[in-house]
């Protein structure tokens, strides 16, 4: 390798990073491409050949699927993380995982610089850079989309297409269908192009992980999902009696089954960390099923007051993940609290997957806090109705006084 400065480029082989690879070489850097396998459906051999043909000195392809699942996805499921009530954070979770790989590569290769293709208007620049600085405080970041010499030359995606054509850079997208697509084990996200109009319906051809409800099977699939301390540990197909316990295989299988039933599509406008609103389309089949099943099991096994506190913490935790603070003291503190809440979230949830819907059919647990005898309408069960009367009277006094004051002030 030459004496030029080395830079590790977070490389996907898409429009932006392919052009950035060639641009960095033009600027005199020795570029080492880093491509993480986090479950996306990709031809890694072709990506490697392309990077080397375009001038990369080396390409590192690292299989991070197990790490992504165990260190990022499962904590998200345990936490019940969801941003703005709908987004299950598939991209947000992937970025700190990839950043960890970038930092390891930079240290091994003695590279002073890490570069990425995240736009200057988006969240990913924040996620990548905060993670890299947390793990490698002395590293320097090259963010082309924030450099005037880059964004003044490439005003938009059309300029990148022209640059790619001039430099013989093959691309997986075309100007006709220029939406951006980001995939990993947990989800696929789509944005840009015609999707920037929030009133423009996405074409059915866009979706890759999920069937439409019209073409989904006409019969439901019934599954039993076993959790241990909030983690999914077994997937049982009731119809076929097939059980899967290996973690990666479990998630991949659930993605396939739920996707076939059209589960996990959302089309939302969300609030980016930088203050902009953006329109995103997401497919998260397995994550959607696990979110609902885990939530249901928590209701059965978790103390009421602990669950109230956990609900507050998980909202803060989701915001931190979305905004790029995975490696932060505040996130570490909340994560430990949330994980403590999961020690009794053990049991089995039975779900029906059908035409885009996840329906809970039943749940059971040896650590259940549900007492059928105590709550029964047909048996006394040791419950004293007088106590309930006292509880009602105490709150009735409070409410009557509150609304008396409200009435007098109107």
Active site residue ranges: 16, 95, 124, 180
Strands 357-364 and 347-354: antiparallel
Strands 113-115 and 6-10: parallel
Q: Which residue has the tokens 């939302």?
A: 268
- Please state, in angstroms and rounded to a whole number, the distance separating the CA atoms of residues 247 and 232: 8
- Please state, in angstroms and rounded to a whole number, the distance separating the CA atoms of residues 276 and 321: 17
The token duo for 100 is 């960890």
The percent helix, strand, coil of the chain (3-state, each to 5) is 45, 20, 35
The token duo for 8 is 């590790």
Q: How many CB atoms sit inside 10 A of residue 183's CB?
A: 21
Q: How many CB atoms sit inside 10 A of residue 202's CB?
A: 15
Whether 102 and 141 have beta carbons less than 8 Å apart is answered as no
Helices (H) and strands (E) in the chain — how many of each? 14, 14
- Please state, in angstroms and rounded to a whole number, the distance separating the CA atoms of residues 198 and 188: 18
Nearest to 125 by CA among 101, 99, 150, 149: 99
């Amino acid at each position: 390798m030459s004496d030029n400065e080395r830079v590790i480029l977070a490389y996907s082989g898409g429009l932006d990073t392919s052009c950035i690879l060639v641009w960095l070489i033009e600027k005199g850097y020795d570029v080492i491409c880093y491509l993480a396998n986090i479950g996306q459906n990709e031809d890694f051999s072709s990506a490697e050949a392309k990077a080397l043909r375009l001038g990369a000195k080396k390409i590192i392809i690292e299989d991070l699927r197990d790490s992504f699942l165990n260190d990022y996805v499962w904590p998200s499921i345990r936490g019940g993380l969801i941003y703005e009530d709908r987004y299950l954070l598939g991209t947000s979770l992937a970025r700190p995982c990839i950043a960890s790989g970038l930092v390891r590569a930079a240290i091994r290769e003695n590279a002073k610089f890490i570069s990425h293709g995240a736009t200057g208007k988006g969240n990913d620049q924040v996620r990548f850079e905060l993670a890299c600085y947390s793990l490698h405080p002395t590293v320097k970041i090259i963010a082309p989309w924030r450099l005037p010499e880059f964004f003044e030359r490439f005003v938009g995606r059309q300029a990148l297409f022209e640059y790619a054509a001039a430099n013989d850079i093959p691309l997986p997208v075309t100007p006709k269908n220029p939406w951006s697509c980001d995939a990993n084990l947990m989800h696929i996200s789509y944005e840009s192009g015609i999707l920037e109009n929030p009133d423009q319906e996405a074409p059915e051809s866009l979706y890759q992980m999920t069937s439409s409800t019209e073409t989904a099977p006409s019969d439901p699939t019934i599954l039993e999902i076993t959790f241990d301390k909030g983690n999914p540990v077994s997937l049982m197909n009731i119809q076929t009696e097939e059980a899967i316990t290996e973690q990666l295989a479990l998630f991949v299988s659930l993605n396939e089954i739920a996707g076939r039933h059209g589960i996990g599509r959302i089309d939302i406008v969300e609030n980016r960390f930088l203050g902009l609103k953006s329109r995103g389309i997401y497919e998260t089949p397995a994550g959607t099923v696990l979110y609902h099943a885990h939530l249901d099991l928590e209701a059965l096994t978790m103390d009421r007051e602990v669950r109230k506190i956990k609900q507050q913490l998980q909202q803060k935790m989701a915001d931190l993940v979305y905004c790029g603070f995975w490696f932060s003291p505040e996130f570490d503190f909340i994560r430990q609290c949330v994980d403590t809440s999961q020690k009794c979230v053990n049991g089995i949830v039975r779900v029906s997957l059908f035409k885009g819907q996840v329906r809970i059919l039943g749940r059971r647990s040896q650590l259940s806090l549900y007492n059928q005898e105590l709550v029964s309408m047909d048996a006394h069960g040791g419950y004293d109705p007088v106590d309930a009367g006292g509880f009602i009277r105490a709150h009735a006094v409070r409410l009557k006084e509150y609304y008396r004051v409200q009435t007098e002030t109107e």
